Amino acid sequence: MLWIILLLFSIISSIKTINSENMSVSIIIPAFNEDKTVSNVIKAVKSLNYIDEIIVVDDGSQDNTAQVAENAGAKVIQHLKNRGKGSAIKTGFNKSIGDIIVFLDADIQNLTSKQVDNIIKPIINGEADLTKTKFKREAGRVTELTAKPLLKFFFPEIKFDQPLSGQFAVKRSFLNRIKLEDDYGVDVGIVLDADVRGMKIKEVDIGKVNHMLSPLNDLNIVATEVVRTIVDRATQYGRVTMIDSLGKSIRMEVLGLSLVFLGLFTIFFVRPIPLQLGVVISILGTAMAVFYIIKILRMSINMMRKPGARLQTFRSFFYMHSPIVVSGIILLAMISTLFGAVHYENGKISIEPNSRNLIISTDNSNIYIRGPYTVESSLDNETSIIRMPQDAMNTLEFNYGDSIYINGHDYTLNQTLPGGDNVMSVPPDVMTSLGLNSGDVIIDSDIRNLFTNLYAEKYLPMQNDSNLTIKEGVIIKPGPDYARNVNIYLNNQQVTSTAGIFKNGTYNVYLNGILYKSIYYNDQNPQGNYTLYYGQNVITIEIDGQSQSDVAFASSDEGWFLNLTFNNESFNNEG
């Protein structure tokens, strides 16, 4: 078994080596006024037989850099004006084809092919995804005085001897995923991106390298661009907020407020968690929130007192303090909701928060906020009225003026009194029949269940002014079921339609309060037309088509099916 494992490991390793050795290599040399040294760099590279292309990007040089590079055998791409080292590197990268991209400075006076080979081979051999160089040189002022202190502060895990080396090699697949800077920050930006993404980075010692020494003014530009890149990456990767004292206090403040939310939520809405634990969490969060809000206020006041810091502080409040403001508003809204649900009765204070109900209609993709509904006893003189919020009426699919029969007594549905948008006013005898108590809370999904299997009379909406009123008798059901459509015509003009569940049996139709016709419904022959005459008026009841409904038409032993009333007794009533 062991020799099989070793064989597989050998095969995998050989495949990896073959794939790595077959990777193409492109050399990118950004150059600006480097006609004295660029040919030396190209010559060192050309000595390696596995290099696929050499690209020199002349970044707006004013000397013969382009001509010298072309004569030395490189492919030359020219910028019309100087755009920066990073911009030249991006141009060369976009025009290159290699799987491994090697960047070399054009001002190296003594570069050798051995040094270039040492940069590339760790990637080819699978030892690294990115190689950067260190070397002996006469000066490294930007590195020692600027880059290293900042990296130690923001990226302490990076411990390279020379983090700003301009000579490095990297896999193309990695460069495709990162942002390349346009200036001297490009080198350190690539290293930081590789470090944060967990790439394998190897620092290669290539010995002594002679660079052209830059004047102090040029080093100032380099240092500024390096600092900007490091700070930008520190901000992007969360290294600034990790060490910022104000940011830490703000995060701890938001954590405290969040613990208050969690504690209150567990107290009122999460039954498995003990009440005591919710109280402890709330107290802990409150203490933390109070401590850090005081600390934040002190720090902010000190910032405001500093000369010229007003605009900076305002921006800080906008970007950094907004999470606290929003969390505070949410907490106030929660607390006000809880105080609004306080009840005092018989020496007891109870807090009973009620949440709204979200209803999403799958039929028409509408979204509603309905309920919950609080039950209270109706006025003494309203013994035959049930006052219901409009949302509850919509859920029941009833209209004001419709009636529900409870224990043989009809109760008219009416709108709520002013200020009682989510209050159901119910007569005491109805409360007893339905098992309700004053103060009960009914969620919207239970409103239909409350009246299930009760007989009700509903007015049908009329399509035109026909001087005809039609009511239907129905039995309320908990949910939709197979039903039939019913269309009603007056003198061949449709005036209304409805839908309901039929069962085999007799259904009574009344005209002006008098039983006019009994219809027998049979599932074996469900469709049919039934005609009524009132003077010269012809009323046709058409049972047709399948539908879904959550009411059943009342049979003759439950009530009446339809009750048609002409509002004007003389309406076309001749003969």
* Per-residue model confidence (pLDDT) at position 496: 94
What mean pLDDT is reported for the chain?
84
Distance CA 319, CA 138 (A): 45
CATH tag, 357-450? 2.40.40.20
For residue 189, pLDDT beyond 70: yes
Q: Give tens-digit pLDDT for 432-488.
A: 999 999 988 888 888 888 999 999 999 999 987 668 899 999 999 988 889 999 999
pLDDT band of 305, cuts 50, 70, 90: low
Average pLDDT of the segment spanning 211-224:
69
For residue 207, pLDDT beyond 80: yes
pLDDT band of 529, cuts 50, 70, 90: very high
Q: Are 540 and 520 in contact (CB under 8 A)?
A: no
Q: Which residue has the higher pLDDT, 17 or 85?
A: 85
My answer on whether omega of the bond before 372 falls inside 30° of 0, hence cis, is yes
What's the Cα-to-Cα distance from 322 to each of 166, 247, 250, 314, 496, rounded to whole Å? 42, 12, 10, 11, 56
The closest alpha carbon to 193, from 145, 135, 130, belongs to 130
What is the phi-psi region of residue 454: left when phi exceeds 0, alpha when psi lies from -120 to 50, beta otherwise? Answer: beta
* Per-residue model confidence (pLDDT) at position 327: 84
Q: What does 514-531 look like in DSSP terms, one character per residue?
A: EEEEEEEE-TTS--EEEE
Helix (H) or strand (E) holding 273: none
Q: Give tens-digit pLDDT for 101-127.
A: 999 999 888 889 999 999 999 999 999
pLDDT band of 323, cuts 50, 70, 90: confident
Average pLDDT of the segment spanning 419-444:
89
Distance CA 92, CA 222 (A): 21
Contacts of 317 (CB under 8 A, 6+ apart): 300
Q: Is it true that domain 21-239 has CATH number 3.40.50.740?
A: no
Q: What type of residue is 352?
A: E
* Per-residue model confidence (pLDDT) at position 570: 45
Q: Which residue has the higher pLDDT, 407 or 334?
A: 407
Rg (CA), the chain: 42
Question: In 89-222, at which residue ranges do the beta strands (DSSP E only) sit?
Answer: 100-103, 130-136, 168-171, 201-208
Beta-bridge partner residues of 344 = 349
Q: Give tens-digit pLDDT for 69-81.
A: 999 999 999 999 9
- The angle at the Cα of 65, spanning 222 to 132, to the nearest 5 degrees, equals 45
What are the sequence ranges of the domains in the chain? Answer: 21-239, 249-339, 357-450, 456-566
Q: Give tens-digit pLDDT for 87-105.
A: 999 999 999 999 999 999 9
pLDDT cut 70: percent of the chain above it: 84
